[in-house]
Amino acid sequence: MPKLSAWINAARLRTLPLSVSGILIGTALANFYGEGNNFIFILALLTAIGLQITSNFANDYGDGVKGTDNEERIGPKRVLQSGLLSRRELKRGIIVSIIINIILVVTVVYLSFGLQNIEYILLFIALGGLSIWAAIKYTVGSSAYGYRGLGDVFVFVFFGLLAVVGSMFLYTKQITAMSILPAISIGVLSTAVLNLNNLRDHDSDKNAYKNTLVVRMGYANGIIYHTILIIIGIVSMLAFVILNLACYAQLVPLVVFIPILLHLGRVHKVENPSLLDPELKKLALSIFMLAILFYISNNIFCNFEL
């Protein structure tokens, strides 16, 4: 396989739509207040994608070095595991992606705050640095938090709270209590994607001593946990829509909960974890569609104040 194809494989393109869902929601919220900036929007999307790619490179490297990615693994083969890229090549890719992320973070922060709001600049640069650290430390190093059952917490914070509320703040310079509801929704639904991944890999992770939350609580409890995450995600978004209903177009995103509930039903019927792999893509794309419809329905068809 040519090197370009190997790098595309390592970037895991199917994970990228989920990474920008929080940005779409946060930008939609900002537009509710009459704030918007296309350059900030594009840079925020690129930053989210860049961080996800860094995380994917690091995850491939960390799991490959630790031996977690082996013949027992159910999902797609990884580039280090398959020998498509060497440790040295993958490490260089991680470094290059980090540099690109730093440039993107500094640029979007400067465009958002200029040089007048130094406290905001320092805060968001610190958050950007923390995001880069979190992207790497999920599986890399002896203290990788993904191996201690903490991945769910980080996904909820970074894909939900920080992505939604943080991106909204880039435009509006404010945080509202109401914005927390869609942030919670995207956060727990994104966590459900990680949980589904960990349910699929339960046996191989357990054998490799990767103590994900599913390994710690057990497969059966992991299914219950998955159900709770989905329900919280639905209720949070439903509450936001009802509390801010100004036109019927705002109800359109709720249609996405139909395939999500169908997904939940299939998960409960699965007996072989390997059969969960197709559900990962379906759930991730459903969340992405939820974010797109939320953005379109509220920004194009409705204009209301929170």
Q: Which residues contact 175 (CB under 8 A, 6 or more apart)?
A: 165, 168, 169
* Number of C-beta neighbours around residue 95 at 10 A: 12
Q: How far apart are CA 295 and CA 302, in angstroms?
A: 10
**Cα gap 219→213, rounded to integer Å:** 10
Distance CA 170, CA 75 (A): 36
- pLDDT value at residue 305: 42
pTM more than 0.95: no
Kindly list the domain boundaries of the chain, sorted by start residue: 3-299
Contact 67, 208 (CB under 8 A): yes
pLDDT the model gives residue 163: 95
Instruction: Give the pLDDT score at 49.
Output: 96
Question: Residue 49: enclosing H or E segment and its boundaries?
Answer: helix 38-66
Long-range contacts of 256-263 (CB under 8 A, 24+ apart): 256/286, 256/287, 256/289, 256/290, 256/293, 257/290, 259/286, 260/189, 260/230, 260/233, 260/234, 260/286, 261/230, 261/234
Residue at token pair 């974010």:
291
- Note the pLDDT of residue 166: 95
Q: Are 139 and 62 in contact (CB under 8 A)?
A: yes
- CA separation for the pair 259, 58 (Å, rounded): 31
User: For residue 264, what is the DSSP state?
Assistant: H
Give yes or no for a contact between 111 and 43, defined as CB atoms under 8 angstroms apart.
yes
HSE on the CB side for 258, CA within 13 Å? 6
Q: In this structure, what DSSP letter does residue 282 have?
A: H
Taking the C-alpha atoms of residue 306 and residue 297, their distance in angstroms, rounded to an integer, is 15
Q: What is the pLDDT along the chain (306 residues), one digit of tens a residue?
A: 467 888 888 888 888 999 999 999 999 999 877 888 899 999 999 999 999 999 998 888 877 776 665 555 555 667 777 777 788 888 999 999 999 999 999 999 999 998 888 999 999 999 999 999 998 988 887 778 888 888 999 999 999 999 999 999 999 999 999 999 999 999 999 999 999 999 998 888 888 788 899 999 999 999 999 999 999 999 999 999 999 877 777 888 999 999 999 999 999 998 888 888 889 999 999 999 999 999 988 776 565 444
